Every structure is written in structure tokens, then in C-alpha cells.
Structure 1
Amino acid sequence: MGWLEDIGKSLPIEKIYDDLARKSVVQVGDIALNSIKAARCILAPIDYLAAQQDKLQNHLKRVNDKVPEDRQINAHPLLTGPIIDSLKYVEEESLISEMFENLLARAIDSERASEAHPAFSKIIAQLSPDEAVILYHFKSQSYEAELNYIYAPNFKDINSIEVLRNQFPVELLTFPNNYTMYLNHLCHLNLLTQFNNISHVKEGAPCNHKMCIETTKITTFGQLFSQACIPEKIDLFKI
């Protein structure tokens, strides 16, 4: 098991939990007789810690399986610390947790450790599952959308934007109506970038309407992030 066994040897997890449970049971024995609810409240943190430990071991096992043992190296705590902390708050079987696991795998892989930038863990923590799906698709191609800009009477401000055509398969998203918001967020994170080609007014359209072809593509930084974190294939039912 390599580095995973070393963790187990250096941290006597079973003894720690046995000691915690033994001391806690003795201390709350009398309370439990009088108040079952109070006993549950007091013992709940121990159950929580045990559950978190089991969950972490599952994550580490999957990370270990991703990297051949002869390529495993010690990871920098600046990278692993935030990831371990973030894994507490995501579902174990989810696309976001898999992205964290992939980043951990890069961090301990002697051949790919250079791909594991410390900023990537903070970016994953800000993503929704839908945004991860979007990045997965933008890894391989760019997408266009045909927009109708409706200007205010002063012709300076835009009152609204109508999406007339969208190449991206928004039906794959859990919340397709949030697609524009997702793009804005991913552009803010410098993972995607957009180019707008605003044409003249279409024949027969009101003078305050202008057509725009908006092309969205992944940035160089986004490619590096996707290479390190996004799975080669995703299971849409696991999102």
C-alpha cells in the first residue's frame, strides 16, 4: 500500500478511538440513565469522527489505486491539507470528490506531481457539479451561442439578452437554466474565456436589437486544471 500503510502505522487510529469511546462512556454513564437524548448529543462527536475516518480511508484507498507504488512520493502538506479538509464536506461518491482524489493522486505521483498546483484545490471547492461537467466538455472543444442583445432606449445599456441558439448540451446539466451564470463564474476563475462578435441589426428586427455570436473556450490555465483534476470519463449519474 506504500504511503497509505505509512499513514496507518504513524497514526494509531483504532487505539485513539477506543480511548475516546472508553473515557466518554464512563463519563456519560450516569447521564445516559437519566437522559438518552443528552447521551446521544455527547457521544455524537465520537460517531462523527469515526465516520470521517472511514470516509477518509476510502478516499485514500482510491487515490492509492490511481498511482503505481513505485511512482509514489511524499506530497507537500500545502496541497494535501486543504484537500483533506474539503473532503469532509463533499459526498464520497461524487464528481467533486473524484476531482479532489485526482489532484491528490497527482501530488503523490513522481511523474505528474508538477501538475498539482496548490490553487487547484481552492478552485475545486468553489465549483458546482454542473460546472465540473461544463469543464469536462470544454476540455475537447469550444462552443458557440447565438444571442440577441436588446438595448435600452439610450442604446448604451443592455436591457436583456435572449439566447437564440446554444451549441452546448445544457440538457446534461442538473440546472440548465443556470448555464449563463456557470459560464460567468468559470470565466471569473480564469478557467474559460469568451469572445463576442456583435453584428449589425438583423433585417426586419427592431433597431435596438443586435445579434451576437458568443464563442466560449477553455483557457490555458483551465486546460492545466482540467488535466490535473477532471476525470477522463464522467458518470452523469454520479454528479
Structure 2
Amino acid sequence: MNEIIETISSAPKVLEETYSDLVSGALKEAGKIGVDAVKTIRLALFPLQYAAALQDRLARYIDQSIAQVPNDRRIAPMESLILPVSEKLKYQEEDNPITILYINLLSRGLDKERLGEAHPAFINIITQLAPDEALIINELGNEGYRLYFLSNTKKNKIIGNNELSLSQGFNVLNDQIKNLLLSKKINHDILGNPSLLLTFIEHLVSLGIITYNNEIFNDGELREVRLRFSSFTYYCIELSEFGKLFYKACIKK
């Protein structure tokens, strides 16, 4: 602890004057992972332009990241990770789903057993995500592949469960396939802007996070759908290998 105090004391006087109790707590907790970590975190927390409120909020985020890592697995974070992540976090609202992605990514950088998950591209990926897109990634990560159906007569009209179950041809499917279709259909009702589902999907495809895989309709468990059910156009989406790593690093606990 004396080393931590010396580290803080060696900071320029103007930085000492901005030192708040909440940030102090974050640094003391960070001290458990070593003096080098404290120095790195101090650099992230104390640029002169930081307002006090942003400082305090960022300190809470840092605390949360550290708390997610068991004591015996904590390591000093790389500046190339903590500095850009801290820069993003200082403007993130606490109730924004994107905030937890940054916090989780920072935790991976502090964890010697999960450090390899902290791909450098993930910072820029998170920056480009809408909150609803994070929810889609989470659903795919938790549940595996997901389906969505489009109307054959109305361009880009997404078919809901009620319309699907009442459609011509649905009743010719066996009960197992019916239940599978309904359970695997993407739940766009959880989205804040469900009408933008297709836009979100295409954006996630462009980022390399998700991919289309309609092989399941050719040789997989939904082959019967292709053979008997033509009322709608159907698509299957899943996380790419890169997307699975992103989910593991930034979303999965």
C-alpha cells in the first residue's frame, strides 16, 4: 500500500487537487493487482479535462471491472486497452446496455485467464453498436441460431408469431417442427426499435459478428420446412466465429 501512496504522491500537484474519494477507492482496489496497474489506471482517470462527475462515474466503472475478476487472477491492464476503453466509458450512461460491454471487455484485460479474449478490434466494434444490436448478439449467444420470416408479398415485412402460426401451410408441419419454428424465431419484441430489426441484422453482418446459415433448411432439423412450407421467405442467422469470441469477451459473464 505504501507503494500506491508514493505513486499517487508523485503525481503533479494539479492532478492531486482533482483526486476524489471515489477515484481514491478505485485506485486502492486496483492496488491489489499491482503498482503498474495503479499507474496505468491513474493515467486513464486523471486527464485535466475530465469533469468531476465524469471522473466519479468512470471510477465506478473501473471498480466494477476489477470486482468481476477473482483476486488471484488479476493482472496489470495493458495501456492499449484501458486507455481507449476508459475514454469511451467516461461518456457512457449507467443504464445503457453498451456500457456493460466496455466494462466486461476491460475485465478481460485484467484477468490472466481470460486476457486472450480481449481482441483489440472489440473496442471499435462496441463503439459502432446500437443497444438493440447488443441485445440481438446476446440472444444469439444464449440461444444459438435464430430464424426470421419475411412476407412474400410485402417487402421487408417481418412475420410475427401469430401471423406465422395462422399462415397457410403451417398446419401441414408436424408439431415438433411447429414448436421449433416458434421457439427459434428471433424475439424482436425485446428490441427498443423492432421495426429496425433488418437494419440491425445487416449491420451486424457487415461487422462480421453474425452470419447467415440456411444449411439448416437443406440438411438440418428444419429440412421439412423447405419441403412443405413456402408461405414466407425464411432466414437463419447465427454468430460467426468472430462473433462468438465477441460474445464471450464482452457479453457473457
TM-score, length-normalised on structure 2?
Answer: 0.65
Tell whether the 8 Å contact from 1:64 to 1:105 is kept in structure 2 after alignment: yes
Separation in structure 1 between the aligned mates of residue 209 and residue 234 of structure 2, nearest angstrom: 20
Deviation at 1:64, TM superposition (A): 1.3
Question: RMSD between aligned alpha carbons?
Answer: 3.3
Aligned to 1:56: 58
Change (3 A) 1:188 1:12: same
Q: Which amino acid aligns with 1:81?
A: L
Change (3 A) 1:135 1:52: same
Equivalences for residues 49-198 of structure 1 within 5 A: 49-140=51-142, 141-149=144-152, 160-165=155-160, 167-195=185-213
Greater share of strand residues, 1 or 2? 1
Deviation at 1:224, TM superposition (A): 0.3
Query: What SS does the aligned partner of 1:56 have?
Result: helix
Query: What SS does the aligned partner of 1:177 have?
Result: helix
Aligned to 1:38: none
Separation in structure 1 between the aligned mates of residue 129 and residue 58 of structure 2, nearest angstrom: 21
Deviation at 1:169, TM superposition (A): 1.3
Tell whether the 8 Å contact from 1:147 to 1:165 is kept in structure 2 after alignment: no
Change (3 A) 1:180 1:69: same
Tell whether the 8 Å contact from 1:147 to 1:162 is kept in structure 2 after alignment: yes
Separation in structure 2 between the aligned mates of residue 7 and residue 93 of structure 1, nearest angstrom: 36
Match of 2:233 among 209, 212, 217: 212
Query: What SS does the aligned partner of 2:67 have?
Result: helix
Aligned to 1:155: none
Query: What SS does the aligned partner of 2:51 have?
Result: helix
Query: What SS does the aligned partner of 1:75 have?
Result: coil
Tell whether the 8 Å contact from 1:99 to 1:231 is kept in structure 2 after alignment: no
Change (3 A) 1:231 1:192: same
Separation in structure 2 between the aligned mates of residue 185 and residue 199 of structure 1, nearest angstrom: 27
Separation in structure 1 between the aligned mates of residue 160 and residue 6 of structure 2, nearest angstrom: 53
Separation in structure 1 between the aligned mates of residue 6 and residue 125 of structure 2, nearest angstrom: 27
Q: Residue deviations 1:151-206, cap 9 Å, x none?
A: xxxxxxxx933323461111111111111111011111111111457979x88xxx
Separation in structure 2 between the aligned mates of residue 61 and residue 217 of structure 1, nearest angstrom: 33
Greater share of helix residues, 1 or 2? 2
TM-score, length-normalised on structure 1?
Answer: 0.68
Separation in structure 2 between the aligned mates of residue 83 and residue 121 of structure 1, nearest angstrom: 7
Separation in structure 2 between the aligned mates of residue 92 and residue 139 of structure 1, nearest angstrom: 23
Query: What SS does the aligned partner of 2:151 have?
Result: strand
Structure 2: 5+ residue stretches without partners: 20-47, 162-184, 218-224
Structure 1: 5+ residue stretches without partners: 21-45, 151-158, 204-209, 233-239
Query: What SS does the aligned partner of 2:159 have?
Result: strand
Deviation at 1:67, TM superposition (A): 0.9
Tell whether the 8 Å contact from 2:55 to 2:90 is kept in structure 1 after alignment: no
Percent identity over the alignment? 31
Tell whether the 8 Å contact from 2:9 to 2:16 is kept in structure 1 after alignment: no
Separation in structure 2 between the aligned mates of residue 104 and residue 223 of structure 1, nearest angstrom: 18
Q: Which amino acid aligns with 2:147?
A: E
Deviation at 1:52, TM superposition (A): 1.6
Aligned to 2:167: none
Query: Is 1:230 matched with 2:233?
Result: no
Separation in structure 2 between the aligned mates of residue 93 and residue 51 of structure 1, nearest angstrom: 16
Separation in structure 2 between the aligned mates of residue 133 and residue 108 of structure 1, nearest angstrom: 25
Separation in structure 2 between the aligned mates of residue 81 and residue 123 of structure 1, nearest angstrom: 16
